A and B are shown apart, each in its own frame.
Chain A
Amino acid sequence: MAEKRVLVIGSGVAGLSAALDLAAAGVEVDVVEQYEFAGGQGIRLSCKATETCVKCGACMAGDRLGRALKHPRIRLMTGSSIEATDRNGRFAFQIRRKPEFIDPSKCNACGICYKQCPAEGAIIQGTSGHHRPFFAISEKVCLYLKDKSCTACRDSCPMSAINLDAMKQTELTQADAVIVAAGFSTYRPYEKPYGYGVFPNVVTNQELEAILKRHGRVLRPSDHTEPGRIAFIQCVGSRDTKLGHLWCSTYCCGSALRLARLIGHRQPQIQTTLFYIDIQTFGRTIESYYKETKEKIRMIRSIPGDIYPSENKGLKMTYLDPMTADTLQEDFDLIVLSVAMMPPAGLEGILKMFHLDRIADGFLSLSEDTARQGIFAAGAVTGPMPLAEAAASGSKAAWQSICYLKTA
């Protein structure tokens, strides 16, 4: 495999799993990540273990990122996008890299820049110890980059790590094969009757993950108090013909049950209710938490219809109780919507670049024909899947690539 090189698009669990397997086989790997921080959406999740591991996979992204960063044959380019591509035998790529405003060799992750910055969202925080530098500057929001009106971060940085005049860079690279691991986007449930975006205590499961990751426990966004009663609503935006989402997103039953279990363990005074249609048992690990969780939380086989605001930013929810056939109104302090996985934003550019198509659902379609051209895919860009499956899918794509490189 000497002198063979593969370009991986996306640094989530799938992309990094592919990169590590390729590198282990002696292949040089370039990983292109458009976001400022590597690790994909998986790295933003919190571990769901209590005294026992429930195999949620949240550690997978961090584990793979840590190993990829150390691997001499893997080059990880964050804040990067492919500007142009060509193929004459090998693939040739022109990659645009965002300016390196914060020098990773100098930054000590003290967070003074983050605290000093007056523009909300201009300095973005990492979510993993593997994120170095731990902060990044948003080109869109930073006041200096807009009109040079602020240098608070640069002036306050004790390590002189910040250079607001850094320039974007262009890299040229070649590859013998490509693995598309561009991930997924999540459904923003504004059109559902749950007041998302209106009531601060209606959040998505991703937002709940962020709260847990940040505070270690569940707090209400409105007032940072501990909720007494939490409701999960499943299938929000999944199995939905109106939205054109006919798929089950496969990750959300496992995610909600594991979250409910974790919350029950860390904050036993919270009462959790899960509103669901049916429990989808994807993966082999559901038995490790399902039976136990089912006994500890309230499970109601019905999807609620309405949410109204009540006192103290509480939420009044209506649902049909299937046991009594009564329509009930019940108060909750926090409502979590388990939202659908969708094809990633920006997939169109990748499709054009490699002359690829979508399957009917909108996810990436690959065929034997694309495999013959050395184009492979991994992870949720091919369809919704949980983390463990994304990792396996990355390894599979690496294996396919190696087979291709041997014959090409």
Chain B
Amino acid sequence: METDSLIALNTLNHGRCRTWPFLQDFCLTCGICAGSCPASGVDGFDPRKLLRMIALGMEDVAVSARWPWICTMCGKCANVCPMDIDIPGLVRRIRSLRDREKVPGITHKGLQAALETGNNLRLPKDDYVFILEDVGEEIAQEPGFEGFSVPIDKKGARILTTIHNKLVNTHTEDLKHWWKIFHAAGEDWTVPSENWEGTNWGYFTGDDAAMKIMTGRIAENMERLEIDTLLWPE
């Protein structure tokens, strides 16, 4: 987290970040953000220092640093900040300035997969439907849930739900809780067969365009199935 080159304040591009023109100038460096952050201390991460880097014009250092990617974007810092500084917003903007190929971990790859196939896993439609129906059959074997089946693409249902990719990957058991509650409550619900991905990793990578596409697809599903209530658990 050190740089040898001199930082020129006039290189800071205020226009690049909505929150950059002045908000970080309000920072009192009180440190309540760092004191409440669940990720602070990981690899020396300190939201107070990250904010200070931006205030000092160290934009390039911040963009290439690992710190902005340690943040979980939980928003606790902004919640306690007495000066109302949108720290997760700042982190997201810093992330957005990084070359997409250098976005760490699986987030950018998962997002690319989602843009191309409708879900982060590149899970084909047939496999996805098979998994849903398989879980549905398991539920139907439990006492009190006889006759249960998964309503896929049900036109005119009251609620449309999205699916987190892990629920059709490693955590299929977790699908059952929702569905059983729906069943017991007599809810009229459905899941889409395509573009069902509920996560929106453009949020985490700072990719506004991708985020818009992912959100738009959910809206399209609602229009196609003539549903006006969305349950988006992510």
Binding site for B on A (CB under 8 A): 192-193, 235, 239-243, 277, 301-306, 318-320, 322, 325-327
Contacts and interface: CB of A to CB of B under 8 A. Distances in A.
A243 B81 CA distance: 11
B35 A318 contact: yes
Given A277-B28, A305-B35, A306-B35, A242 B82 contact: yes
Contacts of B33: 305
Contact of A327 (B34, B80, B81): B34
Best-buried of A193, A306, A320 by chain B (most CB within 10 Å): A320
A306 B30 contact: no
B229 interface: no
Nearest to B35: A305
B31 A303 contact: yes
B90 interface: no
A38 B34 CA distance: 44
Interface in B38-59: 40-41, 44, 46, 48-49
B35 A304 contact: yes
Contacts of B30: 235, 277, 302-303
Contacts of B32: 303-305
B82 A302 contact: no
A235 B29 CA distance: 12
B213 interface: no
Contact of A318 (B28, B36, B83): B36
B128 to A, nearest CB: 41
Contacts of B34: 302, 305, 319-320, 327
A302 B30 CA distance: 5
A393 B44 CA distance: 48
B22 interface: no
A306 B40 CA distance: 13
A275 to B, nearest CB: 9
Interface residues of B, number: 23
Identify whether the interface residues of A are mostly helix, strand, loop, or mixed: loop
B44 A241 contact: no
A241 B84 contact: yes
B26 A241 contact: yes
Best-buried of A240, A277, A302, A305 by chain B (most CB within 10 Å): A305
Nearest to B48: A320
Interface of B: 26, 28-37, 40-41, 44, 46, 48-49, 76, 80-84
B35 A325 contact: no
B83 A320 contact: no
A242 B81 CA distance: 8
A304 B36 CA distance: 7
Contact of A235 (B40, B41, B82): B82
Contacts of B26: 241
A240 B82 contact: yes
B12 to A, nearest CB: 23
A241 B37 contact: no
Best-buried of B37, B46, B82 by chain A (most CB within 10 Å): B82
Contacts of A192: 80
A202 to B, nearest CB: 15
A325 B83 contact: no
A302 to B, nearest CB: 4
12 contacts: A192-B80, A193-B36, A235-B82, A241-B26, A242-B83, A302-B30, A303-B35, A318-B36, A319-B34, A320-B37, A325-B41, A327-B41
A277 B41 CA distance: 20
B41 A326 contact: yes
A372 B46 CA distance: 55
A304 B29 CA distance: 12
Given A240-B83, A302-B34, A302-B35, A320 B40 contact: yes
A408 B215 CA distance: 72
B82 to A, nearest CB: 4
A304 B37 CA distance: 10
A242 B76 CA distance: 15
A227 B229 CA distance: 55
